Amino acid sequence: MTNLRIASFASIIWTCMIFNASAGSLSDQDTARILDLKETALSSNLAYEIDESLTTEVGARRVGTAGDKRAVEWAVAKMKQRGFDRVWTEEVIHHAWIRGTAEARIISPYPQKMVAIALGGSVGTPAGGLTAEVVEFADLAALEAAAPDSLKGRIAYVSYRMERKIDGAGYGPAVKTRSAGPSIAAAKGAIALIMRSVGTDNNRIGHTGGLQYNDDIVKIPAAALSNPDADLLSNTIRRGKPVKVFLKLTAMRQDDIAVTTANVIGEISGSTNPDEYVVMGAHLDSWDVGTGAVDDGIGVSITLAAAHHIAALPTRPKRSIRVILFAAEEVGLVGARQYVERHKDDMASHVIGAEWDFGTGRIYEMTPGVGPSALNSIRELAELLAPLGVSLSPKNDARGQSDMSALGKTGMPAVNFEPDGLKYFDYHHTENDTLDKVDAEALKQNTAVYTIFSYFAAQSGIDFRK
Amino acid sequence: MTNLRIASFASIIWTCMIFNASAGSLSDQDTARILDLKETALSSNLAYEIDESLTTEVGARRVGTAGDKRAVEWAVAKMKQRGFDRVWTEEVIHHAWIRGTAEARIISPYPQKMVAIALGGSVGTPAGGLTAEVVEFADLAALEAAAPDSLKGRIAYVSYRMERKIDGAGYGPAVKTRSAGPSIAAAKGAIALIMRSVGTDNNRIGHTGGLQYNDDIVKIPAAALSNPDADLLSNTIRRGKPVKVFLKLTAMRQDDIAVTTANVIGEISGSTNPDEYVVMGAHLDSWDVGTGAVDDGIGVSITLAAAHHIAALPTRPKRSIRVILFAAEEVGLVGARQYVERHKDDMASHVIGAEWDFGTGRIYEMTPGVGPSALNSIRELAELLAPLGVSLSPKNDARGQSDMSALGKTGMPAVNFEPDGLKYFDYHHTENDTLDKVDAEALKQNTAVYTIFSYFAAQSGIDFRK
């Protein structure tokens, strides 16, 4: 997921809620079917098998790479194999970027190599690298407070460490250095930015992720150090002698070179309202360093598996269920934005959406973002999910996570499912995002939740906007 | 530590033990002093500070590298600073080896990069790398059972995974592939060996460590895959299609290029028996990929800190306490063997020895290897250590761990201290061996144990050989 996921949440408390448990949205038969679907999902290993297939047969799939193209072919084939009624692609256009290699070393006073990774979208250093004195800042605010020109000819280093929190709330305060830090440092005269990785692990593996240059300011190269290397650099600086660092990035921006990829869309066609879509979203692209098993192989896998379980029923639910595997999420929700642009006359047919793009844990909470009249139905859904350990948030402000936030901005109702994210940022945007990090049992619970949600929303006919 | 640590233990049970608690080896004053030393060690952060200094100011220090030379200078200075009465170096000679770079990729059927690391001492591949079909073996025995010439032109791949055990007992069955696998594979016609890393972690970081070529068989390049990459390769092979792998190692053996390094020795001189030595050992060299904070920065740090606490007392114990920081342990106990050769006429003066080369955990057991008459005194020592959570093994077969095993072979009595090793092989011989892996609280307990042991052995005057 990108940093766009961490939106600010207005706190709309359900003070006006009136529950009416007797006005059920589902027939007894529907409810029985949902309980069957739940058992199917909980006993099936399908989502894990799909993730194993994606990560073994495709692997890394950054937008514009050969892996990205293979992923699109893989997704189309997998949807057809898994019983979707309609499968198609919609072209998405972005631009190229070359990661190249990253080298970082402390030159003096104590020569040490460091593990670093270029931030996504970074420019390269001069071909021979650069060597300069490092100035440490505790966080982005300290960098922002530096005097103009005080970093002239120097490397800015932000050592802020992300906090581990179950809901991923440590990400926002950390990721702003990755997004905005390079241009802020450049504005003070810095020739490069290095930062502690946005991650909660202690592995000698850097975390990449997109930066956002301010186009009015010179673009400087930017890289993230692994957490142990950030410790090392800070411990070295703490000794009080000038510290010189060598940095060489062979990264290259190629903003004028277009690359094409695609959103891959599969539909279980509704039996009575086929032109109304319950949407499950995930992103098909990944960063180029791991195999994207977690980010967002898990989302791809649970949405495909959930739709498959419903497709395997003898009858279709009333509305269509649309799984959208978005392209180019990691570089700024590019596929989702292009989807909304292409479907702008059709967004009212998207009755509700849920994304999965946050990892490895069991879902513990559901937050709706629906019209006030639909809250009773959400409560019914919550009662179906409660035995899976999912509680209902008192808030009603969900606007869609990650890609789905682009659809949510058009007014589409949404549900956010919140998983235990304690481990997520150990692997996020690293080489370490591999299949072994996927919890097969949590995946079953996740799949059961998405299966129930999508069947409920498709079969009940509720207008979630009202 | 190398694989030599895992020696087979004869099981000599204390069936003949006669305890005589009244025949104490220490005066009441000595006992009081030991209790004071324990409190000093438990409340001091010195060992951690020493490890922070070594890993920040020196870092990686593989034999023959610039880091190794800096480490020798660092150790001499640190011993002088920490109150040792005598500090000296003894030259150790080994030969060079160049690690170079490692590249591994699955070429077909599904192109994927893999994280690999050359085994220590490996030859390189041809300059352009090599590409060949891979044949998987579940373990070394399966490789040994392969028909002659069955691997001709192929890459042998051993996928055996090390088991996690508190005493490190999973290491022996795993490490034999690293030691002997390359020559066994070569004898079957293989052009390279790749293996799952000898390690218990799931990080995308390979574990290096020394191989041992059979000089009668052609030397083939050998590398270890990270555990997630070994999973990936096995999952790919499981699909039943031929799997081709590209491997490029720019490693280079330089057996005819001598490098010099040194054992660094520091002594707290005995007050009445200065020519009798109680020995604490650790190794100063490390592999070249991490900063060696754990292997064996911890050993260096706790032996220096323990000796410092004793040096800080107003009077010296009766015997000398000798801390030996051995050179070139990782390449086969080279420094320890050269120490024994140099001191062969003097080994009878080494009254007892203990090594530390096994990591990050709290010590839970002590195993002596002493003469039968000395067992009563060992029981006294055990009573002093029991409040620290250290139990006494019923065995009496310790011959010294790691470097100390070379001294133990001469007949020197030894004590082995066994720490909780559950996490040790997550970091062992990897880039991930960094300061953050060091448990500062466990280090205090470790230091207290070594302080008590060495003071007890130096002050009590016991003949541990009898």
pLDDT (tens, 9 = 90+) of chain B, 466 residues, equals 554 444 333 333 333 333 333 347 899 999 999 999 999 999 999 999 999 999 999 999 999 999 999 999 999 999 999 999 999 999 999 999 999 999 999 999 999 999 999 999 999 999 999 999 999 999 999 999 999 999 999 999 999 999 999 999 999 999 999 999 999 999 999 999 999 999 999 999 999 999 999 999 999 999 999 999 999 999 999 999 999 999 999 999 999 999 999 999 999 999 999 999 999 999 999 999 999 999 999 999 999 999 999 999 999 999 999 999 999 999 999 999 999 999 999 999 999 999 999 988 999 999 999 999 999 999 999 999 999 999 999 999 999 999 999 999 999 999 999 999 999 999 999 999 999 999 999 999 999 999 999 999 999 999 999 9
Query: What CATH superfamily classification does B3-95+257-460 receive?
Result: Zn peptidases (3.40.630.10)
Q: How many CB atoms lie within 10 A of CB A130?
A: 17
Cβ pair B205:A205 closer than 8 A:
yes
DSSP states of A290-322: S--TTTTHHHHHHHHHHHHHHHTSSS--SEEEE
Q: Touching check for A52 and chain B: CB below 8 Å?
A: yes
Burial B290-318 (b: 16+ CB within 10 A, else e): bbbbbbbbbbbbbbbbbbbbbbeeeebbb
Query: What string of H, E and C letters represents the secondary structure of chain B?
Result: CCHHHCCCCCCCECCCCCCCCCCCCCCHHHHHHHHHHHHHHHHCCHHHHHHHHHHHHCCCCCCCCHHHHHHHHHHHHHHHHCCCCEEEEEEEEEEEEECCCEEEEEEECCCEEECEEECECCCCCCCCCEEEEEEEECCHHHHHCCCCCCCCCCEEEECCCCCCCCCCCCHHHHHHHHHHHHHHHHHCCCCEEEEECCCCCCCCCCCCCECCCCCCCCCCCEEEECHHHHHHHHHHHCCCCCCEEEEEECCEEEEEEEEEEEEEEEEECCCCEEEEEEEEEEECCCCCCCCCCCCCHHHHHHHHHHHHHHHCCCCCCCEEEEEEEECCCCCCCHHHHHHHHHCCCCHHHEEEEEECCCCCCCEEEEEEECCHHHHHHHHHHHHHHHHHCCEECCECCCCCCCHHHHHHCCCCCEEEEEECCCCHHHHCCCCCCCHHHCCHHHHHHHHHHHHHHHHHHHHHCCCCCC
CA dihedral B438, B442, B444, B446 (to 10 degrees): -100
CA dihedral A196, A199, A200, A203 (to 10 degrees): -70
Q: Touching check for A165 and chain B: CB below 8 Å?
A: no
Q: Touching check for B452 and chain A: CB below 8 Å?
A: no
Q: Touching check for A55 and chain B: CB below 8 Å?
A: yes
From first to last of the 466 residues of chain A, give the pLDDT tens digit: 554 444 333 333 333 333 333 347 899 999 999 999 999 999 999 999 999 999 999 999 999 999 999 999 999 999 999 999 999 999 999 999 999 999 999 999 999 999 999 999 999 999 999 999 999 999 999 999 999 999 999 999 999 999 999 999 999 999 999 999 999 999 999 999 999 999 999 999 999 999 999 999 999 999 999 999 999 999 999 999 999 999 999 999 999 999 999 999 999 999 999 999 999 999 999 999 999 999 999 999 999 999 999 999 999 999 999 999 999 999 999 999 999 999 999 999 999 999 999 988 999 999 999 999 999 999 999 999 999 999 999 999 999 999 999 999 999 999 999 999 999 999 999 999 999 999 999 999 999 999 999 999 999 999 999 9
Task: Tell me which of B68, B105, B112 to substitute to probe the interface with A (most A C-beta atoms closer than 10 Å).
Answer: B112
Task: Tell me which of B108, B110, B225 to substitute to probe the interface with A (most A C-beta atoms closer than 10 Å).
Answer: B110
C-alpha to C-alpha distance for A370 and A434, rounded to whole angstroms = 35
* Chain B residues with beta carbon closer than 8 angstroms to that of A203: 203, 205, 432
Domain with CATH 3.40.630.10 in chain A: 12-96+257-460
Angle between helices B28-43 and B375-385 (to 10 degrees): 40
Q: Nearest by CB to B52, which of A205, A235, A436?
A: A235
Bridge-based pairing state of the strands A391-392 and B273-283: unpaired
A434-457, pLDDT tens digit by residue? 999 999 999 999 999 999 999 999
Q: Nearest by CB to A203, which of B55, B113, B432?
A: B432
Q: Nearest by CB to B204, which of A52, A112, A431?
A: A431
C-alpha to C-alpha distance for B308 and A67, rounded to whole angstroms = 57
What is the per-residue pLDDT for B2?
55
Q: How many CB atoms lie within 10 A of CB A280?
A: 28
Cβ pair A239:B56 closer than 8 A:
yes
Q: How many CB atoms lie within 10 A of CB A131?
A: 16
What is the per-residue pLDDT for B318?
98
A57-111, pLDDT tens digit by residue? 999 999 999 999 999 999 999 999 999 999 999 999 999 999 999 999 999 999 9
- Which residues are CB-contacts of B158 (< 8 A; sequence separation ≥ 6)? B136, B137, B138, B139, B140, B142, B143, B177, B181, B193, B194, B195, B196
Cβ pair A112:B59 closer than 8 A:
yes
Angle between helices B297-311 and B28-43 (to 10 degrees): 130
Angle between helices B440-460 and B46-57 (to 10 degrees): 110
Q: How far A92 CA sits from the closest chain B CA (Å)?
A: 24
* Chain A residues with beta carbon closer than 8 angstroms to that of B205: 203-205
Task: Tell me the count of A-B CB pairs closer than 8 A.
Answer: 88
Bridge-based pairing state of the strands B363-369 and B391-392: parallel
Query: Quick check: helix, strand or coil at residue A326?
Result: strand
C-alpha to C-alpha distance for B196 and B174, rounded to whole angstroms = 9
Q: Touching check for A231 and chain B: CB below 8 Å?
A: yes
Query: Quick check: helix, strand or coil at residue A94?
Result: strand
Domain with CATH 3.50.30.30 in chain B: 100-250
Q: Touching check for B57 and chain A: CB below 8 Å?
A: yes
Task: Tell me which of B229, B436, B437 to substitute to probe the interface with A (most A C-beta atoms closer than 10 Å).
Answer: B436
- Which residues are CB-contacts of B216 (< 8 A; sequence separation ≥ 6)? none
Q: How far B159 CA sits from the closest chain A CA (Å)?
A: 15
Task: Tell me which of A207, A232, A288 to substitute to probe the interface with B (most B C-beta atoms closer than 10 Å).
Answer: A232
Q: Touching check for A292 and chain B: CB below 8 Å?
A: no
Cβ pair A231:B436 closer than 8 A:
yes
Q: Tell me which fold the domain B100-250 belongs to.
A: Glucose Oxidase; domain 1 (3.50.30)
Q: How far A431 CA sits from the closest chain B CA (Å)?
A: 6
Quick one: closest CA in B to A238, which residue? Answer: B56
Cβ pair A204:B56 closer than 8 A:
no
Q: Touching check for A308 and chain B: CB below 8 Å?
A: no
Q: How far B95 CA sits from the closest chain A CA (Å)?
A: 23
Q: Nearest by CB to B203, which of A56, A205, A235?
A: A205
What DSSP element (H or E) covers A88? Answer: strand A86-98
Which amino acid, B464? Answer: F
What is the per-residue pLDDT for A2?
54
How much of chain A is helix, strand and coil, in % rounded to 5? Answer: 35, 25, 40
Cβ pair B203:A202 closer than 8 A:
no
Q: Nearest by CB to A231, which of B203, B205, B435?
A: B435
Tokens representing residue A314 in the block: 């003898």
Cβ pair A227:B436 closer than 8 A:
yes
Tokens representing residue B442 in the block: 């466990």
* Chain B residues with beta carbon closer than 8 angstroms to that of A241: none
Bridge partner residues of B416 (DSSP): B367
Domain spanning A12-96+257-460: CATH 3.30.420.10: no
Q: Where do we find the tokens 């530390």?
A: B356
Quick one: closest CA in A to B290, which residue? Answer: A204
Q: Where do we find the tokens 């709309």?
A: A12
Query: Quick check: helix, strand or coil at residue A407?
Result: helix
Q: Nearest by CB to B228, which of A112, A236, A434?
A: A434
Quick one: closest CA in B to A237, which residue? Answer: B56
* Chain B residues with beta carbon closer than 8 angstroms to that of A434: 202, 204, 228, 231-232
Q: Where do we find the tokens 């039996």?
A: A271
Tokens representing residue A209 in the block: 């992720």
C-alpha to C-alpha distance for A46 and A304, rounded to whole angstroms = 9
Percent of chain B at pLDDT > 90 equals: 94
What is the per-residue pLDDT for A359?
87
**Of residues B405, B407, B87, B406, the one with CA closest to residue B264:** B87
What is the per-residue pLDDT for B452?
98
Q: Touching check for A228 and chain B: CB below 8 Å?
A: yes
Quick one: closest CA in A to B49, which residue? Answer: A235
ipTM score: 0.93
What is the per-residue pLDDT for B95?
96
| Phi-psi map region of A100: left, alpha, beta (phi>0 left; psi -120 to 50 alpha) | left
**Of residues B430, B66, B405, the one with CA closest to residue B259:** B66
Q: How far A163 CA sits from the closest chain B CA (Å)?
A: 16
Q: Whole-structure pTM over 0.90, yes or no?
A: yes
